[in-house]
Amino acid sequence: MDAEAIKNEIKAALEAMGFGPDLEGIESHEGMTNRFSVRLRHSGGEFDVGKEGDDVESRDAQPRRTDGVGMLIGEQGGNLLALEHILKKILKKKLGNEIRFTLDINDYRMRRLEDLKQDVKEAAKEVRMYRKDVALRPASAFERRIIHMLLAEYPDITTESIGMEPYRRVVIKPYP
């Protein structure tokens, strides 16, 4: 995989959407999955990740970004996922083979992953304390995999994915 080709395609897509002047840089991080981290300059306050399940009043009370970066990421990262999908299709057409990578903008996904880990640890603590099942919020396949892997090290807890997409979620249960 040519990291420079991917960076150039990300840059071209962002410029076509009008984000060229705000682009501060694109870094590639190689690992099990190649991640491309885009830094965009923005004015105003911080973008709040928000959590599914937050009630409308508490969401409205939290600072929310309304500029282009927030729109580019979208609600629950939906626009970011769509942009990543489009970039993969463009690269497949240009390079002739499927390219696997993850796109992150202003560390949105990294922050969301940290929030997920914290929520899972709190839910696991609750399951261990009260010996009752706890159902987590609906999650993507990637997030569900992270949850199962995080809790695999707990011998007194088991996990199960239930439901249908897009409402599929993980239930944390005490081990029988």
Residue 32 has pLDDT above 90, yes or no: no
Percent of the chain surpassing pLDDT 70: 85
Tell me which residue of 86, 153, 79, 140 sits closest to 113, measured CA to CA.
Answer: 140
The domain containing residue 75 runs over which residues?
A: 3-106
Residue 80 has pLDDT above 80, yes or no: yes
- Find the largest Cα–Cα distance for the chain: 57
Mean pLDDT over 31-53 rounds to 68
Q: Both 70 and 127 in a single domain?
A: no
Higher pLDDT, 50 or 155: 155
Q: Both 41 and 82 in a single domain?
A: yes
What's the rounded Cα separation, in Å, for the pair 146 and 149?
5
What is the pLDDT at residue 176?
81
Quote the tokens at residue 10. Answer: 């990300």
Domain CATH code at residue 66 = 3.30.300.20
- pLDDT tens digits for range 95-136: 889 989 999 999 999 999 999 999 999 999 999 999 999 999
Q: Both 69 and 145 in a single domain?
A: no
Q: Both 124 and 162 in a single domain?
A: yes
Residue 85 has pLDDT above 80, yes or no: yes
Mean pLDDT over 11-32 rounds to 92
- The whole model's pTM is what? 0.75
Q: Both 76 and 18 in a single domain?
A: yes
| DSSP states along the chain | --HHHHHHHHHHHHHHTT-GGGEEEEEEE-SSS-EEEEEE---SSPPP---TT--HHHHHHS----SHHHHHH-GGGHHHHHHHHHHHHHHHHHHSS----EEEETTHHHHHHHHHHHHHHHHHHHHHHH---EEPPP--HHHHHHHHHHHTT-TTEEEEEES-TTS-EEEEEE--
Question: How far is residue 13 from each of residues 38, 54, 118, measured CA to CA in Å?
Answer: 12, 32, 33
Q: How confident is the model at residue 67 (pLDDT cuts 50, 70, 90)?
A: low
Q: Both 97 and 115 in a single domain?
A: no
Q: Both 122 and 155 in a single domain?
A: yes
Q: Both 86 and 32 in a single domain?
A: yes
Q: Both 87 and 119 in a single domain?
A: no
Domain CATH code at residue 133 = 3.30.1370.50
Q: What is the total count of domains within the chain?
A: 2
Q: Both 17 and 98 in a single domain?
A: yes
Higher pLDDT, 59 or 112: 112
Question: How far is residue 144 from each of residues 55, 74, 124, 159, measured CA to CA in Å?
Answer: 23, 21, 14, 10
What is the pLDDT at residue 160?
97
Out of 42-51, 133-142, 154-163, which region has the weakest mean confidence (pLDDT)? 42-51
Q: Both 8 and 31 in a single domain?
A: yes
